Amino acid sequence: MSTLVRKQLKDELEAQLIAQFQVESLDDHYLVITPLLYPDNSHVCLYVGELGEDRLAIADDEEAAAYAFVLGVSEADIEDRVRKARHRFRLMSSNDDELRLEIARGQLAEVIFALATAVQDVAYLVYKHRDY
């Protein structure tokens, strides 16, 4: 593959990936609507806020845990899955069900899929508790 064709392919892939995300400005942070989905086909959303000059916090605002809870998953199972997701995806630990990372500004693109995948991991507990 020639260098020109490779560059065109790279540019096309980047444009298509970027087009799959929506970003909305909220009062003190940003809402990132990802192309990744919950089991009901609603989009996984993440919240990005500034912590300081070069630091960002990116979190799900406990939405994955709430999603699973509303669909009948027990609190104990949710807490266990959140704990495992935090370990597996190297997320921050806290006393609530939020999935969260604090990162350097330049890391956002590389971690957004990891956090969104952690959200899906927790939300997909609903399949464990349903008859299909």
Residues 10, 68: Cα–Cα separation, whole Å: 37
pLDDT score at 117:
94
SS3 22: strand
pLDDT score at 132:
44
Task: Look up residue 107 and give its DSSP letter.
Answer: G
* pLDDT tens digits, 79-91: 999 999 999 999 9
Residues 71, 51: Cα–Cα separation, whole Å: 33
SS3 103: strand
pLDDT score at 7:
82
* pLDDT tens digits, 93-105: 877 899 999 999 8
pLDDT score at 18:
83
Mind listing the pLDDT tens digit of every residue in the chain (132 residues)?
788 778 888 888 878 878 888 999 999 999 999 999 999 999 999 999 999 889 999 999 999 999 999 999 999 999 999 999 999 999 988 778 999 999 998 898 889 989 999 999 999 999 876 554
Residues 123, 119: Cα–Cα separation, whole Å: 6
Closest of 112, 130, 110, 109 to residue 100, by C-alpha: 112
Architecture of 22-129 per CATH?
Answer: 2-Layer Sandwich (3.30)
- Which residues lie below 8 Å from residue 9, measured CB to CB, with a gap of 6+? 1
pLDDT score at 130:
55
Burial class of residue 71 (count of CB atoms within 10 Å of its CB; 0-12, 13-18, 19+): middle
SS3 100: strand
